[in-house]
Amino acid sequence: MIEKKSEALCFGGRQQVWTHKSEATATDMTFGLYLPPQAEEGPVPVLVFLSGLTCTHENVITKAGAQHYCAEHGIALLAPDTSPRGLDLPGEHDDYDFGSGAGFYLNATQEPWDAHYHMARYVRGELLDAAEMAAPGLDMDRVSITGHSMGGHGALTLALRHPDRFKSVSAFAPICAPSEVPWGEKAFSRYLGEDRKTWRRYDACALIEDGARVPEILVDQGLADNFLDEQLRPERLEEACRDTGITLTVRRQAGYDHSYYFISTFIGDHIRWAAERLKA
């Protein structure tokens, strides 16, 4: 069952919010869907935007200014939540970087998270299916993915694991090597257990080292980002991509931080990047 919660006219298109029941999370899930005006004339490609820690579907659709560029390029924007909601599992709401709002786009294997925290499965499957039900005019053969911070990590790992599903991938300030930084170590140890070998399928650098490939990646990273050195580490992604055939462009942006001011400044470039590849 899928239900439209709201709709507003925006740059000639329609910004919608939908809810539906998810088998992957065993909860109701919410997503934002922007349909550009071109969707009235025929199928349009889709860009999935994965948000970061503490966010919901709402952050990007209200703060990034993405709809203007989506309308310009004729591309739909699909924005899911970052975790299951309404469960009240023990400790789920204690920390901003674990549990509620912090699903890390993986499939948990440890109790009690393994019953609900299957965000990789959700994004790869049910989210796209629900969007197609919400708007049958979407061209689900042309889907790209991007994201911010934890969502940048999710975009990279999902694209690397499913290169036939996602036609391009980009990221804003992604957690590039989560197995090696505090955010990732905390989340992975609790969701996946202490065996670090099981972490590798959710670590972009490890996936590349283990043979996963996409043709190219675009990353924007603010140099005034206070998480840059400890948590994000784009240099590790550069090392992993070197000599693999993956063309990586890391644009280091002087003065920009980790906020939506940063994202809104460069979101147009990422939508253009996806649109060019989706229409190729």
Catalytic residue selected from 22, 83, 149, 168:
149
pTM as predicted: 0.98
For 71-80, write each residue's pLDDT tens digit: 999 999 999 9
Whether 174 contacts 219, CB under 8 Å = yes
Q: Give the containing element (helix H, strand E) for 25.
A: none
- Residue 1 has what pLDDT? 85
196: exposed, middle or buried (Cβ count in 10 Å: 0-12, 13-18, 19+):
middle
258 catalytically annotated: yes
Map tokens 């939908």 to a residue.
18
Of the chain, the percentage scoring pLDDT greater than 70 comes to 100
Task: Please state the three-class secondary structure of 87-141 as a single string.
Answer: CCCCCCCCECCEECCECCCCECCCCCHHHCCEHHHHHHHHHHHHHHHHCCCEEEE
Phi, psi (deg, nearest 5) at residue 130: -65, -40
Please state the domain count of the chain: 1
For 2-27, write each residue's pLDDT tens digit: 999 999 999 999 999 999 999 999 99
Q: Give yes or no for residue 280 having a pLDDT over 80.
A: no
Catalytic residue selected from 57, 118, 148, 258:
258
- Residue 279 has what pLDDT? 87
pLDDT classification of 179: cutoffs 50, 70, 90: very high
CATH of the domain at 31: 3.40.50.1820
Catalytic residue selected from 81, 203, 220, 225:
225
73 catalytically annotated: no
253 lies in which domain range?
Answer: 2-278
- Residue 17 has what pLDDT? 98
For 29-38, write each residue's pLDDT tens digit: 999 999 999 9
Phi, psi (deg, nearest 5) at residue 221: -135, 120
- Residue 238 has what pLDDT? 98
